[in-house]
């Protein structure tokens, strides 16, 4: 039960008790302790806006689903690097509620990431999304500091990156590049004060798969855990980064639904290193298209229920941190596939956001690699119905996420 609900229940119970007691005694009831406006984060010194974001996301969970989209302001299916545009805004008038960004290439000092997005421009778009009230989240397809190979390589060698290892200084230098990037993510609040923009940071994602050097099969579990813990320790305690909410995101494709926890917790670094119980899921969102629709629905519901259950057990937040159906072949995908699953049960409704992957620019990449709608796509009208429902939120419907409610 979320803290506030527990508080309300207890308060009603106490009111009842004091009303009964009042019949025989004139002692005023003791003032109730106000509900805590913070939930424990992996970073106990997280900035106020970061704590507020986490708290407010938890308040929204159970009531709303925030729609997210990777690289949303950077480019779309048919445009590139406009100032304040997204395929989502083209259709709906608003940016997505959650906007994802990719850091791959930053570690090497490149000006652009692995998808050619300019890092300086990315910083500008992160600010634009923040000012629009949205949530920014970062992933990092980091190349391997030991082997020099890309994220999609098999030779983990994590031990060499950790303290005492031959590539430890290099690994720290990779993380330092992120610290510098992050230091520039500052906006000015309404009181003229600088505010470091809160970020949901999702490093070392999809590690239940074997396609990244940090994944299962390419590394030992203990080394993965040590990698994660070192990353948090270095950013938080050594470099003093306090605007991060840490998201853990195994890939559903390599988790057996009959035995969810066993797959999900491979590599889990511990409750004190994790804030968001995430899941990257393409399998249940359309990729397993040979299955009957009813079975696809059942599986998505099960996956969402599992992360919501785990999040509730740990007093954390559940989110579908990445996923989608490439090419969106079904015109009513949003209202007939996604919405019914996310709103299916009390548990699935706890999953607070769902972020679909990027809309690769068709001309530049010479392929159809998109997961969100765009103006002119057959699912655009259905997407509008989806986001117009009371349940689904875009940026323009969000409460002030970076302030504690008064």
User: Site residues (CB under 6 A) for ligand BMA?
Assistant: 102, 104, 114-115, 141, 358
Report, in this order, helix, strand and coil percent for the chain, each rounded to 5: 40, 15, 45
**Cβ closest to ligand BMA, residue 52 vs residue 138:** 138
Does residue 110 contact residue 147 with C-beta atoms inside 8 Å?
Answer: no
Shortest gap between Cβ of 276 and ligand BMA (angstroms)? 19
**Cβ closest to ligand BMA, residue 251 vs residue 382:** 251
Q: Which two tokens stand for residue 73?
A: 């302001």
Q: Which residue is nearest to ligand BMA (CB)?
A: 102
Closest by CA to 252, choosing from 309, 312, 321, is 321
Shortest gap between Cβ of 80 and ligand BMA (angstroms)? 15
Q: In a 10 Å sphere around its CB, with 0-12 CB exposed, 13-18 middle and 19+ buried, how is residue 116 labelled?
A: middle
CA dist., res. 264 & res. 262, Å (int): 6
* CA angle (347 as vertex; 342, 353 as ends), nearest 5: 45
**Cβ closest to ligand BMA, residue 56 vs residue 321:** 321
Task: Render 214-281 in DSSP notation, one character per residue.
Answer: TSBTTB-HHHHHHHHHHHHIIIIIIS---SEEEEE--BGGGS-GGGHHHHHTTT---GGG-SEEEEEE
**Cβ closest to ligand BMA, residue 239 vs residue 369:** 369
**Cβ closest to ligand BMA, residue 138 vs residue 394:** 138
Shortest gap between Cβ of 114 and ligand BMA (angstroms)? 5
Shortest gap between Cβ of 70 and ligand BMA (angstroms)? 7
Shortest gap between Cβ of 324 and ligand BMA (angstroms)? 10
Shortest gap between Cβ of 115 and ligand BMA (angstroms)? 5
316 three-class SS: coil
**Cβ closest to ligand BMA, residue 114 vs residue 362:** 114
**Cβ closest to ligand BMA, residue 260 vs residue 374:** 374
Q: 192: Cβ–Cβ under 8 A, 6 or more apart, which residues?
A: none
Shortest gap between Cβ of 117 and ligand BMA (angstroms)? 9
Shortest gap between Cβ of 18 and ligand BMA (angstroms)? 57
* DSSP H stretches of helix in 259-389: 260-264, 293-313, 333, 339-342, 362-365, 380-388
Q: Which two tokens stand for residue 47?
A: 């900035």
**Cβ closest to ligand BMA, residue 206 vs residue 223:** 206
CA dist., res. 209 & res. 192, Å (int): 45
Shortest gap between Cβ of 185 and ligand BMA (angstroms)? 19
**Cβ closest to ligand BMA, residue 117 vs residue 394:** 117
Q: Which two tokens stand for residue 53?
A: 């974001």
CA dist., res. 263 & res. 250, Å (int): 8
């Amino acid at each position: 039960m979320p803290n506030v609900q527990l508080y309300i229940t207890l308060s009603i119970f106490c009111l009842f008790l004091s009303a009964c007691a009042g019949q025989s005694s004139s002692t005023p009831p003791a003032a109730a302790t106000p509900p805590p406006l913070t939930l424990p984060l992996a970073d106990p010194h997280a900035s106020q806006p970061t704590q507020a974001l986490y708290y407010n996301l938890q308040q929204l969970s159970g009531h709303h689903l925030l729609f997210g989209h990777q690289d949303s302001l950077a480019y779309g299916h048919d445009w590139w690097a406009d100032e304040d545009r997204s395929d989502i805004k083209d259709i709906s008038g608003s940016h997505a509620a959650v906007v994802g960004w990719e850091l791959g290439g930053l570690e090497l000092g490149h000006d652009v990431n692995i998808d050619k997005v300019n890092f300086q421009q990315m910083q500008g778009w992160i600010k634009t999304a923040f000012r629009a009230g949205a949530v920014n989240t970062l992933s990092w397809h980091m190349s391997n500091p030991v082997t020099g190979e890309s994220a999609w390589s098999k030779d983990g060698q994590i031990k060499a990156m950790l303290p005492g290892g031959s590539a430890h200084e290099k690994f720290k230098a990779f993380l330092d590049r992120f610290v510098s990037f992050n230091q520039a993510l500052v906006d000015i609040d309404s009181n003229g004060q600088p505010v470091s923009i809160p970020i949901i940071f999702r490093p070392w994602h999809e590690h239940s798969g074997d396609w990244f050097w940090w994944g299962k099969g390419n590394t030992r579990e203990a080394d993965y855990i040590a990698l994660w813990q070192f990353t948090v320790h270095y950013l938080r305690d050594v470099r003093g980064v306090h605007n991060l909410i840490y998201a853990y995101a195994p890939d559903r494709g390599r988790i057996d639904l009959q035995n969810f926890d066993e797959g999900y917790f491979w590599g889990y670094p511990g409750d004190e290193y994790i804030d968001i119980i995430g899941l990257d899921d393409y399998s249940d969102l359309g990729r397993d298209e040979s299955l009957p629709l009813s079975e696809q629905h059942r599986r998505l519901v099960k996956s969402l229920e599992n992360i919501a259950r785990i999040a509730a057990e740990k007093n954390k937040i559940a989110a579908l941190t990445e996923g989608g159906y490439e090419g969106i072949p079904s015109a009513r995908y949003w209202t007939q596939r996604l919405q019914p699953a996310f709103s299916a049960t009390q548990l699935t409704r706890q999953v607070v956001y769902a972020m679909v992957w990027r809309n690769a620019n068709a001309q530049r990449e010479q392929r159809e690699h998109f997961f969100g709608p765009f103006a002119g796509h057959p699912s655009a009208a259905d997407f509008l119905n989806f986001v117009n429902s009371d349940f689904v939120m875009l940026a323009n419907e969000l409460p002030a996420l970076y302030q504690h409610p008064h």
